[in-house]
Structure 1
């Protein structure tokens, strides 16, 4: 799973639209920030995946989870965010393209003529009347640039949003992480303090 493996922090959405975070770099405060931001640690294909319940518990307002993500982004510039609405796209806009980034070869499917045009302009090659893939010879960084360029142009030219599949299942399909996951550490100074859960 090239995209998830080779960036310090990857943020995305599961098939059920739950936000998840994968941390590949050694960021000392990452576990603490995410857990205190409402995320739960799960295990997916040998790595720890942090999942945000949807809706989050009442004691964890959305601003708390966003604050945790902002802290992570301040720790490293190598962050990619594939959440469906990460860049302010309307959830009600029609889908122009669906990208599958779960393997080494990135693929896409187009729903409109504009999407087909923009996928080809961004380096995707047609494999079926609506299916596309990027060349095997291109690097992961080039592939990622092609995906983000196509996604951006679809929105700005046609108000068409894109969806991304990164191979992360719904929370019920992902077991809890082993208890060896580091215990939460105190939040950095100035970070919002968590409130206790109400029963």
Structure 2
């Protein structure tokens, strides 16, 4: 049986949505329609220039989006291009969060599904092996139905990092997973947070030309 998306009427829909894109120098994610996107959060102009070159070389197009620059990669050949970009970005920073399902081999029937919904991160599985692996993690709580959620005591950044670690741990144990950020299309990517300066502004003109 394929794990299904949690009931959207459950209480964890309430609250302020997680600012999942805003806590790492590089955030890589996927929309539900198959686009890969990258967000840069840094005030280091030298780093921004290097990251911009890496991403555009890999085929990401900079787009001026709701107060920030978002780098978009269309669904075609996303796996190879996203892997290339992340490998090269590692030479410039270790502060990255990769939650892009499009940057991984795709599985028609993943054993685990990780959902970012509202201010919660829930994990749904029908696999006994996956449940055993998840029970070993101190940051994950199990409910009466055998599903899991990250602890509410974690900060936004900690929840993102925990999701990255869970995905990697499952992969090492040959347990397939899929990450759903709850972002349907590129238009739904969150806007720039007020607490950050417009760090990508040097590329705004180029981004507008790409639109």
Question: TM class by shorter-chain length?
Answer: 0.5 to 0.7
Larger CA Rg, structure 1 vs 2: 1
Distance across 2 between alignment mates of 1:36 and 1:132: 39
TM (normalized to structure 1)? 0.67
Distance across 2 between alignment mates of 1:38 and 1:133: 35
Closer/same/farther in 2, CA of residues 48 and 168 from structure 1, 3 Å limit:
farther
Q: Which residue of 1 aligns with 2:96?
A: 79
1:7-46 maps to which residues of 2 (within 5 A)? 7-26=24-43, 27-42=48-63, 46=67
Distance across 1 between alignment mates of 2:25 and 2:128: 35
Distance across 2 between alignment mates of 1:82 and 1:165: 9
TM (normalized to structure 2)? 0.64
Distance across 2 between alignment mates of 1:173 and 1:2: 13
Q: Does 1:143 align with 2:159?
A: yes
RMSD: 3.5
Q: CA deviation at 1:22?
A: 0.9
8 Å contact 2:116–2:181 — kept in the other structure? yes
Q: Which residue of 1 aligns with 2:69?
A: 48
Closer/same/farther in 2, CA of residues 164 and 66 from structure 1, 3 Å limit:
closer
8 Å contact 2:122–2:150 — kept in the other structure? yes
Distance across 2 between alignment mates of 1:173 and 1:95: 24
Please list the CA deviations of residues 146-175 of structure 1 after superposition, one character each: whole Å capped at 9, or x if unmatched.
Answer: 434433443343x2211112233334767x
Q: CA deviation at 1:48?
A: 2.6
| Structure 2: segments with no counterpart, 5+ residues | 1-17, 190-200
1:184-199 maps to which residues of 2 (within 5 A)? none
Please list the CA deviations of residues 27-73 of structure 1 after superposition, one character each: whole Å capped at 9, or x if unmatched.
Answer: 123334423432123355543321112225xxxx9866654443332
3-state SS of the aligned residue for 2:159? helix
| Structure 1: segments with no counterpart, 5+ residues | 185-199
8 Å contact 2:19–2:156 — kept in the other structure? yes
Q: Which residue of 1 aligns with 2:11?
A: none
3-state SS of the aligned residue for 2:111? strand
3-state SS of the aligned residue for 1:138? coil
Closer/same/farther in 2, CA of residues 131 and 49 from structure 1, 3 Å limit:
farther
Larger relative helix fraction? 2
Q: Which residue of 1 aligns with 2:13?
A: none
What is the count of residue pairs matched by the alignment? 174
